[in-house]
Chain A
Amino acid sequence: MFLSRLRLPSSEIQSTLTCNGQSAMSGGCGRNPPPFPDNEDQEAELDTQVLDSDDDDDEGEDIFTGARSKPITPTSAPDEGDIFSEEGSYVRSDVHHATNGLHSDEELDLFTEATVELTLTNTTSQGRREIIGPTASACNTTRVPNSILKPSIVTKTMEELEEEESGDQFELNIAVTNPEKIGDGMNAYMSYKVSTQTTLPMFLNKTFSVRRRFSDFLGLYEKISAKHSLLGCIIPPPPQKSVVGMTKVKVGKEDSSSAEFVEKRRAALERYLQRVVAHPSLLQDPDVREFLERDELPRAVNTQALSGPGLLKMINRASDAVNKMTIKMNESDNWFESKLQEVENEEQLLRRLHAAVDSLVNHRKELCSNTVVFSKSVAMLGSVEENSALSRALSQLAEVEDKMEQLHQQQAFSDFFILAELLADYVRLLGAVRCCFEQRMKVWQRLQEAQSTLQKKREAEAKLLWANKPEKLQQAKDDINEWESKVSQYERDFERVTCTVRKEMLRFEKEKARDFKQHIVKYLESLLHTQHRLVKCWEAFLPEAKAIA
């Protein structure tokens, strides 16, 4: 359907295919300059590279490459890597549209959607947040692997670990909603409703909700971190504190930037909790359960350390430490080393992406304000215009541009909440991953130290034997026993941490791929909505433009 060659009636166009043969560019263009052709009766057959305006050829291939290259039969095992070939992939032929042929006159519309309409009806707009934000129904299916229930220290193979991942599924949905300002002045705070809906038996009810404030979330992080990070788990970092943002809210500024801040925080808290409960070990933690269930929570103190910059510092220190230690570790396989490198590279990439998306958000906001200003200007022009049909059309155009502004606004919202926040979250998550690797380093270091202490004790014993001091010998033997059992313990710890970190990375990578895909899909949906509304707006305007006389 997407043509790869374009034939145009020669009376319309005279063509000159040229290239400067003496190109000194490395690589050159490789084509010889043809002479100016006799234009009139030649059909200009143009190479598609040359055509730029509609750019359809590569698009055709691109879009359907994925479709075409996949086999018709369902693929076998779920492949972690390929997003296009999970279970049961097949090619749907109704996506292909019949070629429409060329229009003879001006608009050589090579896109068949001009006449082949996808029947698109308006979605019931459910309000911004629900379209783009994670909703309660965006189920966060948590999988509770059976392995958690039976402790096992043996290192598992990657396959076994994968199998455990796709274990039994239970449902747990979390939503953070209804931000409410409690109190006044500088002691005021925002309270959020945390609602849970679950079929898990460990909870008292199936649906319940509590109110929590921001410091409660930080307190939860602290508790989780204290317990689980030593085991090598990746602990999701909490949303960042913001003095500026909160002060505005406290002071009572009822403007859009405060509302935006509150919405940003609400969404961030929701994502944070969803990540926490998506983690099988954390879900089992009684502190997490208490957070979700208990009506009144004792106030968390000393959360300053967990403010944005504090946390960041901690993470950065971790990475420095890890960098120093990596060289010393003698790995049996360099899985950890290369994984860490990957993580660091990825973090850089995501930072870069985040900056680009940030710029997108800002420029789109600028587009909004420029559109509004333009709309007013067009309205003024229309009011001055003496031809009444043109005047009416211009004021209609002003209205269309107004609607455009709203659409751009919504799109900026999506750009931010779907893309920018995702990237920001993952930059911090990757920091947490590095912490996790550092943890393993620490455990290893402790083992090394214990081993070297044991060695020293043994040497001490040998010395005593030689010096023949039997009364101190017993002490030495006791020491050795103590350190032998310590070494043994630390070896087991190290094994366990190694295993956990591996498992965590696997789980994390799967989550990340799924997360990104879900968000891109959501983003595409938001674009779809916007474009659909755009089409409707302009289609409504077209008769007005045609009515000018």
Chain B
Amino acid sequence: VQFGAFQHSCSNKIYLLLVRSVSVDLNNDASLVIDIPDALCERDKVKFTVHTKTTLSSFQKPEFSVPRQHEEFIWLHDTIVETEEYAGLIIPPAPPKPDFEGPREKMHKLGEGESSMTKEEYAKMKQELEAEYLAVFKKTVQVHEVFLQRFSSHPIFRKDRNFQIFLEYDQDLSVRRKNAKEMFGGFFKNMVKSADEVLISGVKEVDEFFEQEKTFLLDYSSKIKDATAKAEKMTRSHKNVADDYNHISGALNSTAADNNTAFKKHLEKYAEVFEKLRKLEDRVASDQELKLTELLRYYTRDIQAAKDLLYRRARALADNENSNKALDKARLKGKDIAQAEENQKQCLQKFDKLSESGKKELTSFKARRVVAFRKNLIEMTELEIKHAKVRRLKCCVYHYMFTRQCSGSHGKPGNLREF
């Protein structure tokens, strides 16, 4: 189950109660168990508590926690990406930066409008704000947790020294900001990447497996990106509907204070109905986002990581071919043959290694993807059913309440039996 709560003050501190992660079963190996039990949001920074339980001797203690910021996760990701040894592995995608823009805006409004709102309005808005913060928190904690769990469940990554430092080192990792050169380098890397895309489609593939993977990944990648965007729009619409119910409920409650008519009491009761509808619609929207949209988002990124592996292999293949050509040329010229031979041997080795580990990685990626989809689709469906049943029940109850006295009018309690 997931739940959370927090208080906020004007110094913008927000504490979160955790959120048990709803990720793929990546924690089933008890020798190294990682989770993020809580997180703290202070102004722009989120501090995640990374908690580790392990039986491995490579760690100093069997159980420990460290605070980590988002930037430190990125540092870990970049370090791993730059490690040449891991070229044949799918590097778990970096978690996106926590985005509290939406709730932050609302909090600002809350602070400004405090004096002009009634106590009830203020409390209500505060509650809504808390719910929004909670939704963002759930998402960001989930994605950071899964990131780490991908490493801990991978036989090679879990032994990585930097990963262990990340988990264990209880001081600030002092991740320095990327200087201009590095940032520019990053930009350059992206340009090279798109060149890789041309490369990957252009290179002549000898291995049937990789040929199929290439086709599949390229196609799947565009479709899942599309599905993610459409899912986001759909979730947005759900939230808009919830918002509208909120306005309706607010309007119904806004009858003049000195109005004592019976009708006003009716309206207040109706306001309650709409308030409940709002809460339920909101929950449907956020659960859908957490299970469906986030799933699609995650796998869009993961597919990209798999594609990156293919690029690296394609580059190695190209290098291999070039080294073959260079060797032939050297032999023709009779110069630098030993060097060319050495080069060719290395390129071939690298390429073979990438192919072998790549095949393993891509195969386990398929399995992982299927498992993740299954789990999240099941959970999403179960939540949809639950929410629909709750709404059904509540409508039933309100229907009953509003009609139970009428024997002659349209809404007979007997109508319920039709259901």
Report which A residues bind B (CB closer than 8 A).
Answer: 8, 12-20, 22-27, 29, 31, 39, 46, 49-55, 59, 62-63, 66-67, 79-90, 92, 95, 106-109, 111, 113-114, 118, 120-121, 123, 138-139, 141, 342, 345-346, 349, 352-353, 356-357, 359-360, 363-364, 366-367, 370-371, 373-374, 377-378, 380-381, 384-387, 389-390, 393-394, 397, 509, 512-514, 516-518, 520-522, 524-525, 527-528, 531-532, 534-535, 538-539, 541-542, 545-546, 548-549
**Contact between B240 and A83 (Cβ–Cβ < 8 Å)?**
no
**Contact between B395 and A53 (Cβ–Cβ < 8 Å)?**
no
In angstroms, how far is the closest chain B Cβ from the Cβ of A205?
A: 25
**Contact between B18 and A83 (Cβ–Cβ < 8 Å)?**
no
**Contact between A55 and B370 (Cβ–Cβ < 8 Å)?**
no
Given contacts A24-B9, A509-B263, contact A52 B130 (CB under 8 A): yes
Bitwise, B233-263 to A at CB < 8 A (1) or not (0) is 1101110110111011001101110010111
Between-chain CB contacts (< 8 Å), 7 pairs: A46-B17, A62-B276, A364-B237, A367-B234, A380-B226, A521-B410, A528-B392
Given contacts A14-B37, A381-B224, contact A367 B238 (CB under 8 A): yes
Q: Is the interface of B mostly helix, strand, loop or mixed?
A: helix
In angstroms, how far is the closest chain B Cβ from the Cβ of A225?
A: 26
In the complex, what distance in Å separates the CA atom of A534 from the CA atom of B385? 7
From B377, which residue of chain A is reached at the shortest CB distance?
A545
**Contact between B386 and A525 (Cβ–Cβ < 8 Å)?**
no
Say yes or no for B193: interface residue by CB 8 A criterion: no
Given contacts A81-B265, A363-B241, contact A25 B395 (CB under 8 A): no
Contacting B378 at CB < 8 Å: which of A359, A518, A546?
A546
For the complex of A and B, 7 pairs with smallest distance between CB atoms: A81-B262, A367-B237, A360-B244, A50-B5, A20-B9, A548-B374, A521-B411
From A405, which residue of chain B is reached at the shortest CB distance?
B234
**Contact between A525 and B399 (Cβ–Cβ < 8 Å)?**
yes
Given contacts A111-B386, A393-B377, A545-B377, contact A518 B410 (CB under 8 A): yes
**Contact between A542 and B381 (Cβ–Cβ < 8 Å)?**
yes
**Contact between A386 and B216 (Cβ–Cβ < 8 Å)?**
yes
Contacting B381 at CB < 8 Å: which of A27, A106, A123, A545?
A545
Residues from chain B with Cβ under 8 Å of A522 in the complex: 410-411
Contacting B395 at CB < 8 Å: which of A13, A52, A528?
A528
Q: Which residues of B, 8-30, contact A by the 8 Å Cβ criterion?
A: 8-11, 13, 15-18, 20
In angstroms, how far is the closest chain B Cβ from the Cβ of A214?
A: 27
In angstroms, how far is the closest chain B Cβ from the Cβ of A127?
A: 15
Contacting A541 at CB < 8 Å: which of B13, B279, B381?
B381
In the complex, what distance in Å separates the CA atom of A373 from the CA atom of B226? 10
Given contacts A373-B230, A532-B419, contact A20 B11 (CB under 8 A): yes
In the complex, what distance in Å separates the CA atom of A328 from the CA atom of B413? 51
From A64, which residue of chain B is reached at the shortest CB distance?
B397
Contacting A14 at CB < 8 Å: which of B38, B227, B391?
B38
Given contacts A120-B392, A386-B216, contact A380 B227 (CB under 8 A): yes
Given contacts A81-B265, A520-B402, contact A531 B395 (CB under 8 A): yes
**Contact between A390 and B374 (Cβ–Cβ < 8 Å)?**
yes
Q: Which residues of B, 184-240, contact A by the 8 Å Cβ criterion?
A: 216, 219-220, 223-224, 226-227, 230-231, 233-234, 236-238, 240
Given contacts A14-B18, A20-B13, contact A538 B384 (CB under 8 A): yes
In the complex, what distance in Å separates the CA atom of A437 from the CA atom of B150? 74
In the complex, what distance in Å separates the CA atom of A109 from the CA atom of B130? 22
Residues from chain A with Cβ under 8 Å of B10 in the complex: 23-25
**Contact between A18 and B381 (Cβ–Cβ < 8 Å)?**
no
In the complex, what distance in Å separates the CA atom of A345 from the CA atom of B248? 16
Q: Which residues of B, 391-413, contact A by the 8 Å Cβ criterion?
A: 391-411, 413
**Contact between A364 and B241 (Cβ–Cβ < 8 Å)?**
yes
Report which B residues bind A (CB closer than 8 A).
Answer: 1-11, 13, 15-18, 20, 37-38, 114, 119, 122, 127, 130-131, 134, 216, 219-220, 223-224, 226-227, 230-231, 233-234, 236-238, 240-241, 243-245, 247-248, 251-252, 254-256, 259, 261-263, 265-266, 269-270, 272-273, 276-277, 279, 283, 366, 369-370, 373-374, 377-378, 381-382, 384-386, 388-411, 413, 415, 418-419
Contacting A548 at CB < 8 Å: which of B8, B38, B370?
B370
Residues from chain B with Cβ under 8 Å of A121 in the complex: 418-419
From A139, which residue of chain B is reached at the shortest CB distance?
B410
Residues from chain A with Cβ under 8 Å of B37 in the complex: 14, 39
**Contact between B396 and A118 (Cβ–Cβ < 8 Å)?**
yes
In the complex, what distance in Å separates the CA atom of A359 from the CA atom of B156? 54
In the complex, what distance in Å separates the CA atom of A74 from the CA atom of B403? 15
Given contacts A20-B11, A363-B237, contact A516 B266 (CB under 8 A): yes
Residues from chain A with Cβ under 8 Å of B130 in the complex: 52
In the complex, what distance in Å separates the CA atom of A517 from the CA atom of B269? 10
Residues from chain B with Cβ under 8 Å of A29 in the complex: 7, 9
Contacting A518 at CB < 8 Å: which of B369, B397, B398, B411?
B411
**Contact between A83 and B1 (Cβ–Cβ < 8 Å)?**
no
**Contact between B386 and A13 (Cβ–Cβ < 8 Å)?**
no
**Contact between B392 and A535 (Cβ–Cβ < 8 Å)?**
yes
In angstroms, how far is the closest chain B Cβ from the Cβ of A14?
A: 5
Residues from chain B with Cβ under 8 Å of A26 in the complex: 114
Given contacts A80-B262, A518-B411, contact A370 B234 (CB under 8 A): yes
**Contact between B389 and A111 (Cβ–Cβ < 8 Å)?**
yes
In the complex, what distance in Å separates the CA atom of A6 from the CA atom of B400? 28
In angstroms, how far is the closest chain B Cβ from the Cβ of A94?
A: 10
Residues from chain A with Cβ under 8 Å of B3 in the complex: 13, 51-54
**Contact between A89 and B404 (Cβ–Cβ < 8 Å)?**
yes
From B238, which residue of chain A is reached at the shortest CB distance?
A367
In the complex, what distance in Å separates the CA atom of A377 from the CA atom of B4? 33
Residues from chain A with Cβ under 8 Å of B277 in the complex: 527
In the complex, what distance in Å separates the CA atom of A14 from the CA atom of B39? 12
Beyond known contacts A52-B4, A363-B241, A522-B410: 15 more, CB 8 A cutoff: A16-B15, A22-B11, A66-B401, A82-B265, A86-B405, A123-B419, A345-B255, A353-B251, A353-B252, A360-B245, A381-B223, A516-B266, A535-B392, A538-B381, A538-B385
From A87, which residue of chain B is reached at the shortest CB distance?
B405
In the complex, what distance in Å separates the CA atom of A20 from the CA atom of B10? 9
Residues from chain A with Cβ under 8 Å of B378 in the complex: 542, 545-546
**Contact between A113 and B390 (Cβ–Cβ < 8 Å)?**
yes
Residues from chain A with Cβ under 8 Å of B406 in the complex: 86
**Contact between B419 and A373 (Cβ–Cβ < 8 Å)?**
no
**Contact between A359 and B244 (Cβ–Cβ < 8 Å)?**
yes
**Contact between A82 and B262 (Cβ–Cβ < 8 Å)?**
yes
In angstroms, how far is the closest chain A Cβ from the Cβ of B215?
A: 10
In the complex, what distance in Å separates the CA atom of A448 from the CA atom of B244? 50
